Structure 1
Amino acid sequence: MRLLIAFIAVPLIEIGLFIQVGDAIGLWPTLLVVLLTAIAGTALVRSQGAQVLSALQGSFQAMKDPTEPLAHGAMILFAGALLLTPGFFTDGFGFLLLFPPFRHLITTMIRSRLKSANVNFSSQQADVDHNVIDAEYTDISAQQSPTGPTKH
């Protein structure tokens, strides 16, 4: 139901904002602002996406929990989609998602609503059975003797 409301409300808000801004500054300046926000947003998404990708790779190499950089990467991707969508409301929310403290706030809010198991990332194996010997073997019970088959 919330998604349906969003799909109805966001375009109505965008249309109202286009009318208000177009009335205040004119058609061509309004279109120029929409185009410039898309270009600036693309550049910001690219640079912040590279930073988050680097942080994600670092968390994998250090065997740390990767959920924070993954969440930030998803929000940056969503911000890029919002910034490429023409409109002032979506651009405003898209630019907010490119602001790291705002992303951290969103991540904290989502994390507080989710229940998850405690996962411990470690480079050492926790439950190693020292009585197990890893080896290779060949089954010789089915092989023939070197002098030929034996008869009984």
Structure 2
Amino acid sequence: MNPLLLLLLLFVGIPLVELYFLIEVGSQIGALPTILLTVFTAVLGGALVRLQGFSTAMRVRAGMDRGEVPAIEMLEGVVLLLSGILLLLPGFFTDLFGFLCLVPPVRRAMIVWFLKRSGTMRPVGDADSTQRNENPRVIEGEFHRDDD
């Protein structure tokens, strides 16, 4: 898909969907309750992102203290940042995706799916890796050192 078309859909399509939902909800419950609901979801989302962000930062620190590379946790931090942005935008459509990103199993599944799809993460029993491990490439030869 053309990246410019995708950006056009994002910058035009999402606000139109948000406007549609805001108008529909506003016609059902009224304008003031709709505005209060939008502000409430932004405040609640901000507080939840803050709590989970601190938790993720502590897991990153603990992983680094153990000498591990906390890649998944760091990617969770990025997803939490995007979730916070989505929750601060007014509207119910972006709030839905923002709150979905706050659910830890959903967030981790999205990250693993992305890593597998991008080719960064491969299954352990991959045919190429097992073939390389079973039949290592060995070059035989002799050498001697000349110390002058």
TM-score scaled by length of structure 1:
0.74
* CA RMSD of superposed structures (Å): 1.5
Which residue in the other structure is 1:58 paired with? Answer: 62
Does 2:60 correspond to 1:73? Answer: no
Q: TM-score, normalised by structure 2?
A: 0.76
> For each residue in 1:33-59, what CA deviation from the matched residue of structure 2 results, as whole angstroms up to 9, or x when unmatched?
001001101110110000000001011
Aligned equivalent of 1:26 = 30
In structure 2, what is the equivalent of residue 7 of structure 1?
11
Query: 2-side partners of 1:117 and 1:88: how far apart?
Result: 33
* Structure 2 equivalent of residue 98 of structure 1: 102
Q: CA deviation at 1:115?
A: 3.0
Alpha-carbon deviations, 1:87-146, whole Å to 9, x = none?
A: 10011111011110111111111111223499xxxxxxxxxxxxxxxxxxxxxxxxxxxx
What letter corresponds to residue 76 of structure 1 in structure 2? L
Alignment check: 8 A CA contact 2:46 2:87 kept:
yes
More helix by percentage: 2
The gaps in structure 1 that reach 5 residues or longer are 119-152
Query: Which ranges of 4 or more aligned residues in structure 1 deviate by more than 4 Å?
Result: none
Contact 2:83–2:102 under 8 Å retained in 1: yes
Bigger radius of gyration: 1
Percent of aligned pairs with the same residue?
38
Q: Distance in 2 between matches of 1:109 and 1:116?
A: 10
